[in-house]
Structure 1
Amino acid sequence: MTGITGRASDPDRMLPSREPVMLLGPDGRPATAEGAALPSGEALLRGLAGMVAARRFNDQASALVRQGRLAVYPSSHGQEACQVAAAQVLTDDDWLFPTYRDTAAAVARGVDPVDALGLLKGDWHSGYDPYEQHVAPLTTPLATQLPHAVGVAHAARLRGERTVVMALCGDGGTSEGDFHEALNFAAVFRAPVVFFVQNNQYAISVPLARQSAAPSLAHKGVGYGIPGEQVDGNDLAALLSVLSGAVERARAGEGPQLVEGRTYRMQAHTNADDATRYRADDEVAAWAAKDPLVRLEAYLRTEGVLDDARAAAFTEAAEQVAHRMRDGLNQDVEPDPDDLFRFVYAEPTPQLTEQLAVVHDELTRDGLTREEVRR
């Protein structure tokens, strides 16, 4: 790499592999991949535990929607390997910038499962303190978090820190202008950021073929001077290998990296979507046979790394997460109308003060106290 732009001396090195990197086949048997090595058994066990918890998290969140405790939930069922790997390859000083579908990644990073769902319940700003686990707020608008992620990475580089930012987005997000702006700025200024695209094949109901004519989304990095790689997004071993390599290169000053994980959204876009209107059952069944949890568990049992006792312990830990979610999200919220104005500016403007007074007048018109209004 040379100069501030970080242009590679050999453009061919920026091209992704012809096929997604795979280390474990759908049946759990090892597969060969040039330049990639299987992570340690300890790392894979940690990943399996995270995926078991992530799937239970998804199932419980979907149940809470049906119970009226969540307004909406975009499930990442089927994408657990991407979610867990993205968090697992980071250090405590790194940052994760998630999308609205990445609650499981935020939890894997250490965010309390109840707090991670605060935004989707609609009862608080973000739901958690981004600085505690270095997890930016969940982002609903497509790709708007990517320029923010680049800004954090660029600032860290200017300060001489070793921080790396993992910026998540979906295949639909790559069609947004924010994606272009983020990659272009990051490449020019060699920001230490890893763009991780979870290609789950659909932007709501729009299939990938209607979004991009590129050979892969990983190929999009070439136009910006960013090396790209594509990886089987249902293979946790391959994800840990590829993503950790990307993080190491970004940390070493080699500039931004682009990784595409080929995965699948097994459930509807959200609880408000009917996926049967735009995809066939046999397509879903084909991807169900590539389940990331079944694949990794089969490999670990074959290798003698996983036994029934440890698998049961992972399931019990996941149930504790679900229990925490039920207890926390079944609590009724007591909203304070003042919160609409309290956190807009450090010092409220005259207009906000005037608007707050109007709200107080309307809410107390019937003689209710502020405490009674909040109840």
Structure 2
Amino acid sequence: MAAKKNQQFDPVETLHAIEEKFEMVQVLNEEGEIVNKDYDPNLSDEQLEELMKRMVYTRILDQRSISLNRQGRLGFYAPTAGQEASQLASHFALEKDDFILPGYRDVPQLIWHGWPLHQAFLFSRGHFKGNQMAEGLNILPPQIIIGAQFIQAAGVALGMQKRKKEAVAVTYTGDGGSSQGDFYEGINFAGAFRAPAIFIVQNNQFAISTPRELQTSAKTIAQKAVSAGIPGVLVDGMDPLAVYAVTRDARERAVKGEGPTLIETMCYRYGPHTMAGDDPTRYRTSDIDSEWEKKDPLVRFRKYLEAKGLWNEEKENEVIEKAKEEIKAAIKEADSTPKQKVSDLLGIMYEEVPFNVQEQLDIYKAKESK
């Protein structure tokens, strides 16, 4: 005999009611037109130009990094084209005292936070000097372990809270990272202690080759915030104005002591997952690529700025040439850095070198001196 349905409570309807609340925030449509004036962050002309410069520069950096990787001059590299609004507009809403805990695709945010470009290249090569951050530079190296940075961000945020700093810890992962246990533990811990953290999931539709629909049965990743008792926001990740606005608001809440926020940015990566052999044509169609190319954050923002008389081809070319020159100088500096030796790694591993490591250190120093 079938169980009698309780008309006063239907868990399925409750779920659907929650999911319907997570509507995507958008300010700028694909034609570069303001469609949500109430949520327009009203950036100054100078701020709008600066954000565009960073996005154009980063697109060139991505193109050159791919080329350098293919030449064997860089090691690990995860392409970023298509995610400029998600990455740079969110960073644009931060302050220098804020702490960034990135995933491996989030090199651009670190560079605009102050990480020297030549060090980013050294990091890609696995050189220890790439991880030696300057005093006062509030970043960690890109995290390779999927989702681990969410746990770390919760801890850093709690430390800031204890020290009464008016700053936040910001971390990024992809849609695949939201399936890791560290993701849930991080947002739950930060929520329980109302720690000043911003958790950003860049939903670029594919975790390597796994499509988003196989990642979770949840309609949105943003709604997972409900389980941790914190705000969750779904935003058009190809819209720099919307990404900036939701990140700015999340930061304001955090520094006021109102706790963390989970932000899901709907975006797309045009290239492979990494340059380590991934072939996106095996799991993505040209129709999907074409659909997302129409939403390109640079094209959208360019149209908006041109309509305001703030951008033109000459300005863009100036940024492109500057990027090429600085990238060339940075790779030259990375090339001139002394090659890493085994003794370097052994020597910096401990403050006081244990006897067994000292024995190995002596052996390698002798080998390297020949």
* Structure-2 residue corresponding to 1:206: 210
**1:305 aligned onto 2:313:** no
CA distance in 2, matches of 1:171, 1:216: 10
State the SS of the aligned residue for 1:343: helix
Which of 242, 257, 264 is 1:260 aligned to?
264
From 176, 179, 198, the counterpart of 2:180: 176
Counterpart of 1:352, as a letter, is: V
Matched ranges for 1:287-306 at <5 A: 287-306=292-311
Q: Tell me if structure 2 keeps the 8 A contact 1:86–1:166.
A: no
Judging changes above 3 Å, is the alpha-carbon distance between structure 1 residues 279 and 213 closer, same or farther for their aligned structure 2 residues?
same
2:356 to 348, 351, 372: 351
* Residues 271-319 of structure 1: CA deviation (Å, up to 9, x unaligned): 2211111111110111111110111010010111223443333223322
Inter-CA distance 359–312: structure 2 relative to 1 (3 Å threshold): closer
Once residues 273 and 308 of structure 1 are traced to their aligned partners in structure 2, the CA distance between those partners, rounded to angstroms, is 34
Q: Does 1:193 align with 2:197?
A: yes
Any conservation in 1 of the 2:237–2:267 contact (CA below 8 Å)?
yes
Q: Is the 8 A contact 2:347 2:361 kept in 1?
A: no
The code of the aligned residue for 1:110 comes to G
Which of 128, 151, 154 aligns to 1:124? It is 128
CA distance in 2, matches of 1:315, 1:306: 14
Cα deviation, 1:113-140, whole Å, max 9, x if unaligned, reads 1211222112225434064421111111
**Cα distance, 1:34 vs structure 2:** 5.3
Q: State the identity %.
A: 35
Q: In the TM superposition, what is the alpha-carbon distance from 1:108 to its structure 2 partner? A: 1.7
2:253 to 213, 237, 249: 249
Structure 1, unaligned runs of 5 or more:
1-13, 364-368
Counterpart CA distance in 1 for 2:87 and 2:98 is 16
Q: Where does residue 77 of structure 1 map in the other structure?
A: 81
Does 2:34 correspond to 1:30? Answer: yes
Return the alpha-carbon distance in structure 2 between the equivalents of residues 33 and 265 of structure 1: 28
What secondary structure does 2:142 align onto?
A: coil
Q: Counterparts of 1:193 and 1:82 in 2: how far apart (Å)?
A: 17
The code of the aligned residue for 2:355 comes to: P
Within 5 Å, which residues of 2 pair with 1:267-286? 267-271=271-275, 272-286=277-291
Aligned pairs (5 A) from 1:196-235: 196-235=200-239
Distance 1:299 1:258 in 2: 28
Q: CA RMSD in A?
A: 2.2
1:18 Cα offset (Å): 3.6
Aligned twin of 1:328: 333
User: Are 1:149 and 2:159 an aligned pair?
Assistant: no
Letter in 2 for 1:59: Q
Aligned counterpart, 1:318: 323
User: Which string of whole-angstrom CA distances, capped at 9 and with x for unpartnered residues, describes residues 196-239 of structure 1?
Assistant: 11111111111111111112111000000010001111111111
Contact 1:16–1:230 (Cα < 8 Å) also in 2: no
Encode CA deviations 1:53-86: one digit per residue, 9 max, x unaligned. Answer: 1111111110111111112211111101112123
Which piece of structure 1 moves more, 151-160 or 328-337?
328-337
Partners in 1 of 2:326 and 2:131 — Cα distance?
A: 17
Mean Cα deviation higher: 231-240 or 38-47 = 38-47
Q: Per the alignment, do residues 301 and 344 of structure 1 end up closer, same or farther by CA in structure 2, a change over 3 Å counting?
A: same
Q: Which amino acid aligns with 1:254?
A: E
What 5-or-longer segments of structure 2 have no aligned partner? Answer: 1-17
Shift of 1:15: 7.8
- CA displacement, residues 237-274 of structure 1 (integer Å, 9 cap, x when unaligned): 11111111111111111001111100001101112211
User: TM-score, normalised on structure 1?
Assistant: 0.89
Report the Cα distance in structure 2 between the residues aligned to 1:254 and 1:342, rounded to whole angstroms: 44
CA separation of 1:245 and 1:171: change in aligned 2, threshold 3 A: same
Misfit runs of 4+, over 4 Å: 14-17, 33-36
Would you say 1:108 and 2:112 are equivalent positions? yes
Task: Name the CA distance, whole Å, in 1 between partners of 2:302 and 2:208.
Answer: 30
Deviations 1:136-175 (A, max 9, x none): 1111110111211111110111111112111111111111
Aligned residue type for 2:125: K
CA distance in 2, matches of 1:226, 1:154: 15
What amino acid is aligned across from residue 251 of structure 1 in structure 2?
V
After TM superposition, the score normalised by the length of structure 2 is 0.90
